[in-house]
Structure 1
Amino acid sequence: MRVTQYPLALTALALALGLGLTAAPAFAERDLVPTLERSFNVCPDRPTEPIWMQDIPLRQAYQRVLVQDIYRAQNLEPIVETGNCDCEIRFPSWDAAEAMFRERHTSDERWEMLQVSDGYNRRANDVRLEAKAICEAAGNW
């Protein structure tokens, strides 16, 4: 291939990528029906996130993610410990996760929160399959 052919090849690649990326979202958008209502097939009365988490500025979203990760670990571990997947166990109040965040992590730097978040994710992932089996048997997955 001669040196003068590279720009043409790059242009063709860019065009192919551009067409592929713009066509896919248009196709997917037809199937989306936007709604602001929360609707769940399993445990429909699950508690909502605290308002401050919903309204958190984008630059501080890592704090919301950390509380979500704490919550996830705190709701999957008891399922495995008790062998019970009632809705109150699978989706408890956010109070304990929020309290854990405020007591232990509010003053952490961003990078520290990201590390802690990773740890909670690992904890949750360690028990996820076992919790899923218990919850599927109870019809709550």
Structure 2
Amino acid sequence: MRQAQHLALAALALSLTPSFAVAERNLVPTLDRSFDVCPDRPAEPVWMQEIPLRQAYQRVLVQDIYRAQNLERVVEVGNCDCATRFPSWDAAEGVFRERHASDERWEMLEASDSYSRRANDVRLAAKAICEAAGNW
């Protein structure tokens, strides 16, 4: 009985292999970022894109600040146009430089967690506003 099950599984795996191979060939990686929603959103600042891997936590912190600020703003103003949801990175960079640039790594990780929680607290409300505007 066990051998029959193994043979059946092997046959199934072999029959699915061509489908997986075709699907895999259709996945073409690209470095170009394209978005379905708000495609003209501002790019991250160059310094963030060029940050050394050992300091990637700094980039993540600025991204978390940006996300929290933007979702909170969407809820605050009740509007989810592209300029509100994806403004320039200036405000997030400013908060990073004023409050966190001289922090130790562990302090930045704690701050990142805090901003992430803030964003998650308003995410559902922002999502409802943005879905109604077609920008989610």
Q: TM-score range by the shorter chain?
A: 0.7 to 0.9
The equivalent of 2:135 in structure 1 is 140
Q: Calculate the TM-score normalised by the size of structure 2.
A: 0.81
Separation in 2, partners of 1:31, 1:108: 44
- Of 49, 61, 79, the residue aligned with 1:84 is 79
How far is the alpha carbon of 1:35 from its aligned partner? 1.6
In structure 2, stretches of 5+ residues that fail to align are: 1-19
Q: Count the aligned residue pairs.
A: 117
Separation in 2, partners of 1:120, 1:43: 23
Separation in 1, partners of 2:83, 2:25: 36
Separation in 2, partners of 1:126, 1:32: 34
After TM superposition, the structure 1 = structure 2 runs for residues 1-141 of structure 1, keeping only pairs within 5 Å, are 29-141=24-136
Residue identity in the other structure for 1:90: R
> Could you give the per-residue CA deviations for residues 43-92 of structure 1, whole angstroms, max 9, x where no partner exists?
01000000000000000000000000000001000110111000000001
Separation in 1, partners of 2:24, 2:43: 27
Displacement over 6 Å in runs of 4+: none
Q: Calculate the TM-score normalised by the size of structure 1.
A: 0.79
TM-align CA RMSD: 1.6
SS at match of 1:117: helix
How far is the alpha carbon of 1:34 from its aligned partner? 1.5
How far is the alpha carbon of 1:31 from its aligned partner? 4.1
Residue identity in the other structure for 1:120: Y
